[in-house]
């Protein structure tokens, strides 16, 4: 099969979160299964763009409202990622340093999507599936079926994968003329609650809809930032496919970012060496358990609860543990987390910002990783942590629920699904639940045999993409267009 993935991010070209990891890896595994997978993203001005060689694949133009826009599709020439990576450049709209957060994001991503469909419409053949990711590519299934110029793409199967349903790409109806001439009888497909809602539109128009974990799909039926009813309505074509991880990039035995490589037999010593270096760099105590948090400092991740949970844990237990936080996001949370460094020097530190290398060093050097998320569609951090022998402490939600069972619930662990790891689980995104779990983890840390047993078990879990990549192939094959 030939599959075209359309996304705003793709690792290592441009990454803001898990979306990039998935779009960067899934195609690699689909290629390994003997298929042709291609990825197309906006041309962000990143290091990867500047350091690689590109060829021009196609040039075209279209009207978006009353603006004529010219686009160029470029292709990475050396097949560096093991699959074809294409970028769309649109002068004045896409050649920018950041992926998101510009005032004209609506124009940028609408133009990106039109360019992709326009380019596909110029192919001499049709792909076997167009796989769109999140709302930034959500108008594509609609355009392939309802824009007069692109109707010859109407029979190409489309799949939407939702990595995060909180963001939906809302645009006001006065921008409906951005979409190339379309069948106005179909306005209802674009609309949700009197606005154009690209995510809702994709849920309605794509042939299949997936989320990145089965539990997240169930949760969307009752909590989907306004789209609950839509998911119930479209349930028949919805399913959850758990993300995998790139076992080559995320491998403690070969990871070039970490100080000391290790694998199962020498994990205790290897982790301790990495921890020692990390603790030295951040003025922490290597003899105490090290808890880390890596991620966006936003309400979805319950990052706002961390400052209080950390302060309470230290005041209740005394200096029995260390914390190291890496992340960026909400300015207020960033400030609170930075402020704590002054209060708990020697036991607490934080690094505000995005740092891929440090994240790897933290997965390797930490004892526990905290993930108190309010919403977690899949979550990759816990899977990376498992592979690096770091015990996840997670709230029981979405993909976290599907990948981690509590070590203290033997029944749960007996019923664990393949790929489910062991860790600590709690139910509520509350300061109390987090501190209680930290208490449990501190006790666990003192039981060296139990720690070693859990580490041994979690490092052997196979969360690689093979199984899930195959599930997507079966999903594309199941689509029959009437």
Among 8, 326, 369, 442, binds ligand ADP (CB under 6 A): 326
Applying the rule CB under 6 A, the residues between 20 and 49 that interact with ligand ADP are 21
Residues recorded for the chain: 482
Tell me the CB-side half-sphere exposure of residue 118, using CA atoms within 13 A. Answer: 23
Q: How many CB atoms lie within 10 A of CB 446?
A: 10
Choose the binding region for ligand ADP from 44-52, 63-71, 104-112, 326-334 (rule: CB under 6 A): 326-334
- Closest approach of Cβ 307 to ligand ADP, in Å? 17
Which of 146/382 has CB closer to ligand ADP?
A: 382
Determine the straight-line distance between the first and last CA of the chain, rounded to whole angstroms.
19
Q: Cβ of residue 451: shortest distance to ligand ADP, in angstroms?
A: 23
Binding segment toward ligand ADP, per CB under 6 A, in 14-22, 203-211, 403-411, 468-476 = 14-22
Structure token pair of residue 74: 């470029």
Q: Which is nearer to ligand ADP, 355 or 413 (CB)?
A: 355
Give 136 or 320: the residue with its C-beta nearer to ligand ADP: 136
Radius of gyration of the chain (CA): 23
Which of 354, 412, 457, 471 binds ligand ADP (CB under 6 A)? It is 354
55-63, 132-140, 202-210, 320-328 -> range binding ligand ADP (CB under 6 A): 320-328
For residue 341, state whether it binds ligand ADP (rule: CB under 6 A): no
DSSP secondary structure, 324-368, as one string? EEEEEE-HHHHHHHHHHHHHTTTTEEEEES--HHHHHHHHHH-SE
Q: Where are the beta strands (DSSP E) in 107-242?
A: 129-133, 158-162, 191-192, 195-196, 208-211, 238-240
In the complex, least distance from residue 5 CB atom to ligand ADP, rounded to whole angstroms: 16
**Cβ at position 73, least distance to ligand ADP in Å:** 26
Least CB distance from residue 203 to ligand ADP, whole Å? 19
Min CB(41)–ligand ADP separation in Å: 16
> Which residue from 451, 407, 438 is spatially nearest to 268, judged by alpha carbons?
451
Closest distance to ligand ADP from the beta carbon of 378 (Å): 6
Three-state DSSP state, 15: coil
Nearer to ligand ADP, 112 or 384 (CB): 384
- For ligand ADP, the closer CB: 18 or 157: 18
Q: Nearer to ligand ADP by C-beta: 261 or 328? A: 328
- Using DSSP bridges, classify how beta strands 322-329 and 348-352 pair: parallel, antiparallel or unpaired: parallel
The kind and range of the H/E element at 389 are: none
Q: Which stretch binds ligand ADP (CB under 6 A): 189-197, 280-288, 352-360, 431-439?
A: 352-360
Locus of tokens 């609309």: 191
387/305 Cα distance (integer angstroms): 26
CA gap 417, 432 in Å, rounded: 28
Q: Minimum CB separation from ligand ADP for residue 328, in Å? A: 5
Q: Write out the binding residues for ligand ADP, residues 261-300 only, by CB under 6 A.
A: 294-296
The yes or no reply on residue 355 touching ligand ADP (CB under 6 A) is yes
Task: Based on the shown chain and the rule CB under 6 A, indicate whether residue 361 belongs to the binding site for ligand ADP.
Answer: no
Residue 157 vs 240, nearer CB to ligand ADP: 240
Q: For Cα atoms 424, 426, 430, give the angle at the middle one, nearest 5 degrees.
A: 130
Among residues 356, 409, 447, 466, the one that binds ligand ADP under rule CB under 6 A: 356
Using CB under 6 A, which of the segments 96-104, 108-116, 193-201, 350-358 binds ligand ADP? Answer: 350-358
Contacts of 271 (CB under 8 A, 6+ apart): 262, 364, 365, 367, 388, 389, 390, 455
Number of residues in contact with ligand ADP, rule: CB under 6 A? Answer: 18
Per-residue contact string for residues 374-413; x = within reach of ligand ADP by CB under 6 A = ----xxxx--------------------------------
DSSP 407: T
- Residue 18 as a binder of ligand ADP (CB under 6 A): the answer is yes
Does residue 17 interact with ligand ADP by CB under 6 A? Answer: yes
> Which tokens hold the place of 345?
């020097």
> In sequence order, what are the residues at sequence separation of 6 or more whose Cβ sits closer than 8 angstroms to the Cβ of residue 211?
161, 162, 165, 217, 220, 238, 239, 240, 241, 377, 378
Let me know: does 176 contact 188? Beta carbons within 8 Å: no
Q: Which residues bind ligand ADP (CB under 6 A)?
A: 17-19, 21, 294-296, 326-328, 354-356, 359, 378-381
């Amino acid at each position: 099969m030939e599959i075209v993935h359309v996304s705003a991010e793709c690792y290592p070209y441009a990454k803001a979160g898990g979306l990039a990891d998935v779009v960067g890896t899934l195609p690699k595994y689909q290629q390994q299964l003997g298929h042709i997978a291609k990825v197309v993203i906006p041309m962000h001005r990143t290091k990867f763009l500047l350091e690689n060689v590109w060829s021009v694949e196609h040039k075209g133009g279209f009207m978006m409202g009353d603006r004529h826009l010219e686009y160029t599709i470029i292709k990475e020439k050396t097949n560096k990622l093991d699959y074809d990576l294409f970028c769309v450049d649109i002068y004045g709209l896409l050649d920018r340093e950041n992926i998101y957060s510009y005032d004209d994001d609506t124009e940028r991503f609408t133009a990106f999507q039109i360019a992709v469909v326009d380019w596909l419409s110029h192919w001499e053949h049709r792909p076997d599936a167009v796989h769109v990711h999140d709302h930034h590519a959500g108008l594509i299934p609609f355009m392939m079926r309802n824009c007069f110029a692109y109707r010859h793409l109407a029979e190409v199967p489309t799949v939407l994968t939702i990595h995060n349903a909180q963001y939906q790409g809302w645009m006001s109806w006065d921008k409906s003329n951005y979409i190339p001439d379309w069948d106005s009888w179909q306005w209802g497909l674009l609309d949700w609650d009197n606005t154009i809602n690209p995510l809702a539109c994709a849920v309605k128009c794509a042939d299949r809809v997936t989320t990145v974990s089965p539990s997240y799909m169930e949760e969307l039926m009752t909590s989907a930032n306004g789209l609950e009813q839509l998911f119930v309505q479209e349930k028949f074509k919805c399913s959850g496919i758990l993300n995998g991880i790139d076992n080559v990039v995320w491998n403690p035995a070969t990871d070039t970012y970490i100080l000391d490589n290790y694998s199962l037999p020498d994990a205790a010593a290897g982790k301790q060496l990495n921890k020692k270096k990390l603790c030295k760099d951040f003025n922490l105590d290597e003899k105490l358990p090290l808890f880390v948090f890596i991620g966006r400092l936003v309400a979805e991740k319950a990052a706002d609860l961390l400052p209080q949970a950390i302060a309470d844990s230290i005041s209740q237990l005394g200096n029995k543990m260390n914390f190291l936080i890496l992340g960026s996001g909400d300015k207020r949370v960033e400030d609170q987390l930075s402020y704590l460094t002054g209060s708990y020097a020697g036991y607490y530190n934080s690094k505000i910002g995005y740092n891929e290398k440090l994240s790897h060093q933290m997965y390797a050097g930490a004892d526990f990783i905290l993930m108190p998320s309010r919403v977690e569609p899949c979550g990759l951090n816990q899977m990376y942590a498992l592979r690096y022998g770091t015990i996840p402490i997670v709230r029981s939600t979405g993909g976290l629920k599907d990948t981690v069972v509590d070590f203290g619930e033997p029944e749960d662990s007996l019923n664990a699904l393949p790929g489910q790891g062991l860790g600590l689980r709690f139910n509520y995104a509350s300061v109390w639940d987090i501190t209680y779990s930290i208490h449990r983890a501190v006790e666990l840390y003192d039981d060296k045999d139990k720690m070693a047993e859990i580490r041994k078990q979690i490092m052997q879990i196979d969360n690689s993409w093979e199984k899930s990549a195959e599930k997507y192939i079966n999903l594309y094959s199941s689509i029959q267009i009437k």
